Amino acid sequence: MKITWLGHSAFRLETAHAKILIDPFFSGNPSFADQDRKEAAAGITHILLTHGHGDHVGDTIALAQETGAVVLANADLAAWLGSKGVQRLEMGNTGGTVSFGSFSATFTQALHSSAQITEDGVSHALGNANGLMLHFEEEASLLHMGDTDIFTDMGLINELHQPDIGLVPIGDRFTMGGAVAALACQRFFDFKHAIPCHYGSFPIIDQTPEKFVKGMEGLKTRVETPKVGVTLSI
């Protein structure tokens, strides 16, 4: 599997059978400013969304229209995206699994909000915030935690799904901070690889992964801190 961090919580995943964007926040994302949007979205087959905040929905509407990618979101967010012209939609909700043939996506719990105030000044309730648990036929399993704090049922997510790779929010203020995120990984998960995210983009959240990296010292989990746009092969 090839994994590219695109800043904030946005990732590109490439497998033998799918090219996936998760939370494709490109426009307005300071971390993505020096990246090539066309390259980031080249050949994508799926767009997966953890929740409805603008810094996660991002460029989904435009990208879906440009590429024809299938968009997966919770039922409320999917309905709203459909009203905006997105045609290829799959919807689910917490605990549910959607199969895409070569991989499946399960909506896991996350402790966060999900409403969005759009350009018309209207607040839209866009369902619950979630994480996304991805199981692939021929690749490592991966959990994108979404935006969340630590919670004890993370242990159940690990028991049910045994994710190999964790994409972990660490920026504090809107999610758990680095030290708490490290505790979550240590206490509730058995990740082989952990990649921190949701940091370094806006001034009011943590700018570096140092607290997370320090908290993970001595653990068997390999912590990866790639620069934005750099692809890892796992």
Domains of the chain listed by start with CATH number: 2-233 (3.60.15.10)
**Which residue type is seen at 145?**
M
**Residue 146 to residue 107: CA distance in whole angstroms:** 10
**Residue 131 to residue 128: CA distance in whole angstroms:** 10
What is the predicted pLDDT for the residue at 121? 82
pLDDT, tens digit, for every residue of 71-100? Answer: 999 999 999 999 999 999 999 999 999 999
- Alpha-helix runs per DSSP H in the chain: 37-41, 54-57, 60-67, 75-83, 154-161, 178-188, 210-215
**Residue 166 to residue 146: CA distance in whole angstroms:** 10
Model confidence, pTM: 0.97
Q: Is residue 127 within 8 Å of residue 68, measured between CB atoms? A: no
Is residue 8 over pLDDT 90? Answer: yes
Q: What pLDDT band is residue 167 in, cutting at 50, 70 and 90?
A: very high
pLDDT, tens digit, for every residue of 40-60? Answer: 999 999 999 999 999 999 999
For residue 17, give both structure tokens: 């059978």
**Residue 86 to residue 231: CA distance in whole angstroms:** 28
The mean per-residue pLDDT over the stretch 206-213 comes to 98
What is the predicted pLDDT for the residue at 119? 75
How many Cβ atoms sit within 10 Å of the Cβ of residue 74?
Answer: 23
Outline where DSSP puts E strands in 61-200: 70-74, 89-92, 97-99, 103-109, 116-117, 123-124, 130-136, 142-144, 165-169, 193-197
Is residue 9 over pLDDT 80? Answer: yes
**Which residue type is seen at 133?**
M
**Mean pLDDT score across all residues of the chain:** 97
What is the predicted pLDDT for the residue at 95? 98
The mean per-residue pLDDT over the stretch 121-128 comes to 90
**Residue 20 to residue 36: CA distance in whole angstroms:** 16
The mean per-residue pLDDT over the stretch 130-145 comes to 97
What is the predicted pLDDT for the residue at 120? 78
